[in-house]
């Protein structure tokens, strides 16, 4: 059974700081890993999708890495802004499936002005 853990559960940083969010998963036989952002009471916005053959993906100030062998991914946010405040979720397809996602519980990020 695939399990996804995200650390830390919550993070508060001053504006401008670089930060790293961590995601680990128990079954390394994944097709891909996806990072999402969720604002309070809202749906999910896809941030980055990393295929199993890739080691990292970048979009603007965001960089996500993937190490399948160790079952880990990190989301790096550079020069954080108050608008980055949200919950960040990582998700991987379940073991034996390439389409049913298992989500971590998320990291609640607060960026203080």
Partner 1 sequence: SAVISQKPSRDICQRGTSLTIQCQVDSQVTMMFWYRQQPGQSLTLIATANQGSEATYESGFVIDKFPISRPNLTFSTLTVSNMSPEDSSIYLCSGKTALHGYTFGSGTRLTVV
Residues at the interface with partner 1 (CB under 8 A): 32, 34, 36, 41-46, 49, 89, 91, 99-101, 103-106
DSSP state of 22: E
Q: Name which of 12 and 18 has its Cβ closer to partner 1.
A: 12
Least distance between partner 1 and beta carbon 103 (Å): 4
Tell me the C-alpha distance between 105 and 113, whole Å.
Answer: 26
CB nearer partner 1, residue 55 or residue 79: 55
Query: Could you check whether the bond before residue 64 is cis, i.e. omega within 30 degrees of 0?
Result: no
Smallest distance from partner 1 to CB 77, Å: 19
- How far apart are CB 41 and partner 1 at their closest, in Å? 5
Torsion of CA 36, 39, 45, 51, to 10 degrees: 0
């Amino acid at each position: 059974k695939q399990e996804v853990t995200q650390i830390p559960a919550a993070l508060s940083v001053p504006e401008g700081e670089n930060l790293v969010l961590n995601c680990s998963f128990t079954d390394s036989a994944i097709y891909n890993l996806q990072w999402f952002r969720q604002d309070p009471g809202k749906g999910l916005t896809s941030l980055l999708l990393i295929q199993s053959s890739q080691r990292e993906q970048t979009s603007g100030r965001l960089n996500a890495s993937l190490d399948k062998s160790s079952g880990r991914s990190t989301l790096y946010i550079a020069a954080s802004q108050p608008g980055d405040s949200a919950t960040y979720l990582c998700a991987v397809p379940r073991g034996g499936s390439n389409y049913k996602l298992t989500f971590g519980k998320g990291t609640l990020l607060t960026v203080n002005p």
